[in-house]
Copies of this chain bind each other. A is one copy, B any other.
Amino acid sequence: MSPLPPVRIGLLGLGTVGGGTLTVLRRNAALIAARAGRRIEVVCASARDLGKSRALDLTGIELHADPHAVVDDPRIDILVELIGGLEPARELVLRALANGKHVVTANKALIALHGNEIFAAARSRGLMVAFEAAVAGGIPVIKVMREALAGNDIQWLAGIINGTCNFILSAMCDAGRDFSEVLAEAQRLGYAEADPSFDVDGIDAGHKLTILASLAFGIPLQFERVSVEGIRNISAEDVTYAKRLGYRIKHLGIARQQAHGIELRVHPALVPTRAPLANVNGVMNAVMVSGDAAGPVVLFGAGAGALPTASSVVADLVDVTRALTTDSENRVPHLAFQPDTMENLPTLDIGDIETAYYLRLMAADEPGVLADVTRILAALGISIEAIMQLDRAPDTAEVPVVILTQRVREAAMNQAITSLEALPTIRTPLHRIRVETLT
């Protein structure tokens, strides 16, 4: 092997991902050195509670309670930020860059919200910032989009990029159970946080979609333009009726080039059972990217967890190591495109997006209701693909009516929903879920 000196790492955070990263770096040290051409050594690390007992081999690593001691350690070549959250992560990363250190991070919120600032700071000093672990854990979706699809005009991407949502929806689908019941189970199993809002309300998926959309289309990171919807309103009934119609309900992040702008949206959707993403279950993640040359490419794997996320952190460390001697302007750009070629393309408001819809109405069991419903939809030019009137539930006077529409602008659908909810025979709110064929 070449006699290059080891690359020295400072590690912020010894939690799940930090511990996993240390484990992988130690367990596979020889393999990693054989691939990277030099050894990768952690020389210092910080953790909030140094007294906490950890099942980690920390031999030879200088430990600090203050993360600044790691960031300012003159020995390190690369800072690995695995503490998560916005502050102090942002301040520490910027300080590391000011100190001339390359950065590897798994922090999706940080990249989605402060990535433009961080990458500008890195560029001005010719430094690399790598963040493969920020999206979809062990699945190399960032590398594939930045490098493997570099010849493609990317048309759209869709991903199951939040393991908590996918676990909950998979369990609802398999067992016909309700959202709140499965959420409680996910919390017991450690697949959902005590405060699950970040995941089940779609914010985490929104951060990840922000990053993927920027890589795909060469637009700045702009989380504020993503339309975000979570899965709290999905009921066991919807899951059951969707199944009968040949669909599964998945929580998707979608970015798509349209004639007048780019769609950026995160929401639950009915997906045809035979689509590859329909069969991604439990805490697994998958991303489908459609390029004009490659066609659809699907990546599937573990979207979270200590070791899968560590796999991506270490891949970034190897990438940075292999690229250390490249002129900075010849490297893989942080956001796939050279900064001066990035364009602030228009993004579409959610009202301007066109999809098919699943509607579930709880209707009074009276003559004329269906006629009212179909009249309202027809008046707005909304075509019906299928309509099912279901058996009355035992303890109610209402019958569920399920409608699949053809594609329609969301604004028109919202208008239809307002009119439908004004009918005295329909219980409000009605349930609507978008339908995505992913083609």
Partner of A152, one of B292, B295, B311: B311
Cβ of A19 to closest chain B Cβ, rounded Å: 12
User: Hey, which chain B residues are within 8 Å of A31, CB to CB?
Assistant: 152-153, 218
Contact A338:B149 (CB < 8 A) given known A144-B140, A330-B321:
no
Which residues of the partner chain B approach A317 to less than 8 Å between Cβ atoms? Answer: 151
Pair A325/B314 contact, Cβ less than 8 Å? no
Residue from the list B297, B305, B326 in contact with A300, Cβ < 8 A: B297
Q: A150 and B308 in contact (CB under 8 A), knowing A27-B292, A293-B138?
A: no
Q: A1-B338, A140-B148, A292-B307 known; 8 other A-B pairs, CB under 8 Å?
A: A24-B152, A34-B218, A147-B315, A151-B314, A295-B301, A295-B307, A295-B308, A298-B298
Q: Do B323 and A326 touch (CB < 8 A)? A: yes
Check if A165 is an interface residue, CB within 8 A of chain B.
no
Judge whether B318 and A293 touch: CB under 8 Å.
no
> What are 16 A-B pairs with beta-carbon distances under 8 A?
A28-B153, A32-B150, A34-B341, A138-B291, A140-B297, A276-B300, A293-B311, A293-B314, A294-B307, A296-B302, A297-B300, A298-B300, A299-B299, A300-B300, A325-B327, A326-B326
Q: How far is the CB of A85 from chain B (nearest CB, A)?
A: 24
Residue A176 is within 8 A (CB to CB) of chain B in the complex:
no
A319 at interface by CB-CB < 8 Å:
yes
Chain A contact-residue range equals: 35 or more
5 nearest CB pairs, A to B: A151-B314, A140-B148, A34-B341, A138-B294, A294-B311
Bound complex: CA A307 to CA B295 (Å): 8
Check if B150 sits within 8 Å of A329, measured CB to CB. Answer: no
A21 to chain B: closest residue by CB: B151
CB pair B153 A4 closer than 8 Å: no
A132: Cβ under 8 A from any B Cβ: yes
Q: How far is the CA of A329 from the CA of B36 in the complex (A)?
A: 9
Q: Which residues of B contact A330 (CB under 8 A)?
A: 4, 37, 321-326
Q: Does A47 contact B (CB under 8 A)?
A: no
Interchain CA distance A297-B144 in the complex, whole Å: 13
**In whole angstroms, how far apart are the Cα atoms of A268 and B418 in the complex?**
57
Does A310 make an interface contact (CB < 8 A)? yes
The residues of A with any CB-CB pair to B shorter than 8 Å are 1-2, 4, 20, 24-25, 27-28, 31-37, 132, 138-140, 143-144, 146-153, 218, 276, 279, 291-302, 305, 307-308, 310-315, 317-319, 321-327, 329-333, 336-338, 340-341
- Contact assessment for B322 and A294 in the assembled complex, using a CB-CB cutoff below 8 Å: no
CA distance A296 to B138 in the complex (A): 9
Using Cβ atoms and an 8 Å threshold, which residues of chain B touch A143? 143-144, 147-148
Q: Is the CB of B35 within 8 A of A150?
A: yes
